[in-house]
Amino acid sequence: MYKIYNYIVLSFFFLILLFPFLGIFSKFNYDYVEINDFLRNNYTKRIIFFSFYQAFISSLISCALAIPFALSLNHHKNLKFVRIIVSLCGFSFVIPSILIVYAVIKIFGYNGFLNTYFNFYNFISIDSIYGLKGILIAHILLNTPFATRLFFQNLNNIPNKYYEISSSLNISTIGNILKLEIPVIKQNLFAVFSIIFSLCFLSFAIVMALGGGPRSSTLEVAIYQYALFDLNFNKAIILSFIQIIICIFFISIGFYKFRGSGFFEIGDLTNKHPHKDLVFLKLIDFSLIFLFVIFLFSPIFFIFLETLKSNFSNIILDHYFIAAFKNSIIISFTTGILVSFFGFIISGILVVNHSNTLVQQTLFLLSSIIIIISPIIFSLGYFIYFQPLIHIEFVKFIIVILINAIFLLPFAILIFFNNLKNIFLTFQDYKKTYRINLINYFRIIFPLFKKNYLYVFSFSTVITFGDFTIISFFRSDSFDTLPSFLYRLISSYKFNEASFVSGVILLISMIIYFIIDNLNYQGKPVIKT
């Protein structure tokens, strides 16, 4: 009986992976000379170089800034406001990047808050934010809090015993930082750096909106531009393959291990740091925390302030806004429901078949392939394959939901699998002994993974809600989601309306995120991989 399920699940995975490739290969022109010319082209080389360069600089600065911030937060982790800051740091993983774009333009742009109010004697003198400068600022704002949260987790895991030993050895505060805390960060530095590097490498909305044109374009943006601006699918496909090869390299350096795993896992925060009461340390730490909070969370503060200032009576009844809002809600919640349901079913099948290594490994391999291929390539493939039907709104809904769901399923499986396996191994004998039928068995075990279920649902919903990459391929004037609508408002000089829309996106994302984060704080974290 289970065998049928195995084949259904395997075929399902094969099919969803097959569609984009069918699309891609149907349009690929195997002209060796053309491919060779394109690969030798200076611009192609520059895009690849720039993709690496901006990702390297962004992750370097993000990590460099995150280390002192994480150290300072760790010293005062028992304080309530530090807990809130750590929570907000995690929000950066789910915040829609288009909001960061909006905030960077409004805060750091030529007519931004800084240049308008703090440019004393032309001290700041921002000429233009577009290009590498804008990309770096946005990536730093997005990734430093995230890196801080990862480093903070590492620091928080240092056993109290170590501090007791260092205290008995009379090691000073600085010594503690250098000998105990920095080595822990150092151990994880490469992993954190590579995660951020990968995120920046695959960044789309930020490069698209702040890159300022082809000079500062990356592979992700170039694939989109070749496909939709030039209708040159061949070039887009060649770049997609280059990107896939690079992503395989990322996976091999351990990126896979981190995506979707213990990002939000925070241990017990009731431990007190032994040096938390030292006056000079307090002074340095609080100053650092203050400066970092002001800088790193400026987009959040700014968006809320601008939303309150905006005249939202104009936009709230605008039919484009209502349609985009409705689309966003339908797409994100349907994706959330689908991902949590199918994630559970697939994980369940994997667990039931835990002895069938072949099926299990094939499924894991297929879900890894999904992670390797970036959303832009999947979108390109589906876009090409379903081109004759793409103008039908219902088809767009289905495809956008499907692509979002495909990308989130591997994470869902990752989250469900271990917990379900433990439950299965614990309760399977009871099921057999008491001859409990499947429905009753499900009723009994459901409370045990309810939290995972809610977590997967909220996580998938919030990520889909903020998606800008997939929708870019399928959006039209009559089909927008809130992030693509916001991009349209920004590029058509409607900043009043943009303020309100960005506020709505931020508020909804934050509410869903805090549900997720709260799940991690209440007792046992939901993710244990």
Q: Is 124 in the site for another protein (CB under 8 A)?
A: no
CB of 204 to another protein, least distance (A): 15
Single out the segment in contact with another protein by CB under 8 A; choices: 14-22, 126-134, 357-365, 374-382.
126-134
CB of 243 to another protein, least distance (A): 18
| Choice from 26, 36, 128, 518 touching another protein (CB under 8 A) | 128
Q: Is 41 in the site for another protein (CB under 8 A)?
A: yes
| Choice from 57, 132, 158, 228 touching another protein (CB under 8 A) | 228
Q: Is 212 in the site for another protein (CB under 8 A)?
A: yes
Alpha-carbon distance of 315 to 418, in angstroms, equals 46
Task: Indicate the residue among 390 and 448 with the shorter CB distance to another protein.
Answer: 390
| Choice from 29, 111, 160, 172 touching another protein (CB under 8 A) | 111
Burial class (CB in 10 A: 0-12, 13-18, 19+), 361: exposed
DSSP 8-class letter at 178: I
Q: Report residue 237 as tokens.
A: 């496909």
Q: Is 26 in the site for another protein (CB under 8 A)?
A: no
CB of 393 to another protein, least distance (A): 11
CB of 134 to another protein, least distance (A): 10
Task: Indicate the residue among 476 and 529 with the shorter CB distance to another protein.
Answer: 476
With CB under 8 A, what is the number of residues at the site for another protein?
A: 34
Closest CA to 79 of 293, 287, 286: 286
Task: Indicate the residue among 120 and 493 with the shorter CB distance to another protein.
Answer: 493
Single out the segment in contact with another protein by CB under 8 A; choices: 109-117, 401-409, 412-420, 441-449.
109-117
Contact 381, 236 (CB under 8 A): no
| Choice from 127, 280, 317, 394 touching another protein (CB under 8 A) | 127
Instruction: List, as one string, the DSSP characters of 333-351.
Output: HHHHHHHHHHHHHHHHHHH
Alpha-carbon distance of 458 to 467, in angstroms, equals 14
| Choice from 166, 225, 327, 419 touching another protein (CB under 8 A) | 225
Task: Indicate the residue among 268 and 477 with the shorter CB distance to another protein.
Answer: 477
Q: Report residue 158 as tokens.
A: 């240092």
Q: Write out the binding residues for another protein, residues 178-207 only, by CB under 8 A.
A: none
Closest CA to 208 of 195, 196, 222: 222
Task: Indicate the residue among 386 and 465 with the shorter CB distance to another protein.
Answer: 386
Task: Indicate the residue among 196 and 490 with the shorter CB distance to another protein.
Answer: 490
Contact 209, 98 (CB under 8 A): yes
Contact 517, 252 (CB under 8 A): no
Q: Report residue 372 as tokens.
A: 């390797």
Q: Is 387 in the site for another protein (CB under 8 A)?
A: yes
The binding track of 60-99 with respect to another protein, each residue x by CB under 8 A or -, is: ----------------------------------------
CB of 42 to another protein, least distance (A): 5
Contact 39, 238 (CB under 8 A): yes
Q: Is 130 in the site for another protein (CB under 8 A)?
A: yes
CB of 228 to another protein, least distance (A): 7
Residue linked to tokens 């200076």? 42
Task: Indicate the residue among 319 and 432 with the shorter CB distance to another protein.
Answer: 319
Alpha-carbon distance of 96 to 468, in angstroms, equals 8
H-type alpha helices, 30-172: 32-40, 42-75, 80-91, 97-108, 113-117, 132-156, 160-168
Q: Is 314 in the site for another protein (CB under 8 A)?
A: no
Q: Is 390 in the site for another protein (CB under 8 A)?
A: yes
Single out the segment in contact with another protein by CB under 8 A; choices: 5-13, 24-32, 81-89, 385-393.
385-393
Closest CA to 312 of 189, 159, 489, 157: 489
CB of 136 to another protein, least distance (A): 16
Alpha-carbon distance of 317 to 206, in angstroms, equals 29
CB of 184 to another protein, least distance (A): 43
What is the three-state SS of 402-437? HHHHHHHHHHHHHHHHHHHHHHHHHHHHHHHHCCCC
CB of 466 to another protein, least distance (A): 21
CB of 307 to another protein, least distance (A): 20
Q: Write out the binding residues for another protein, residues 452-511 only, by CB under 8 A.
A: 476-478, 488, 490-493
Task: Indicate the residue among 131 and 525 with the shorter CB distance to another protein.
Answer: 131
Alpha-carbon distance of 454 to 480, in angstroms, equals 27
Q: Is 167 in the site for another protein (CB under 8 A)?
A: no
294 CB neighbour count, 10 Å cutoff: 10
Task: Indicate the residue among 124 and 392 with the shorter CB distance to another protein.
Answer: 392
Alpha-carbon distance of 193 to 201, in angstroms, equals 12
| Choice from 40, 42, 270, 435 touching another protein (CB under 8 A) | 42
CA of residue 24 relative to chain centroid, distance: 26
Q: Report residue 154 as tokens.
A: 């590492």
Q: Report residue 122 as tokens.
A: 């032309």
CA of residue 29 relative to chain centroid, distance: 34
Q: Is 36 in the site for another protein (CB under 8 A)?
A: no
Closest CA to 97 of 377, 374, 483: 483
Q: Is 428 in the site for another protein (CB under 8 A)?
A: no
For residue 219, what are the CA distances in angstroms to 238, 453, 526? 10, 35, 35
Binding positions for another protein, rule: CB under 8 A: 41-43, 109-111, 127-128, 130-131, 212-215, 225, 228-232, 387-392, 476-478, 488, 490-493
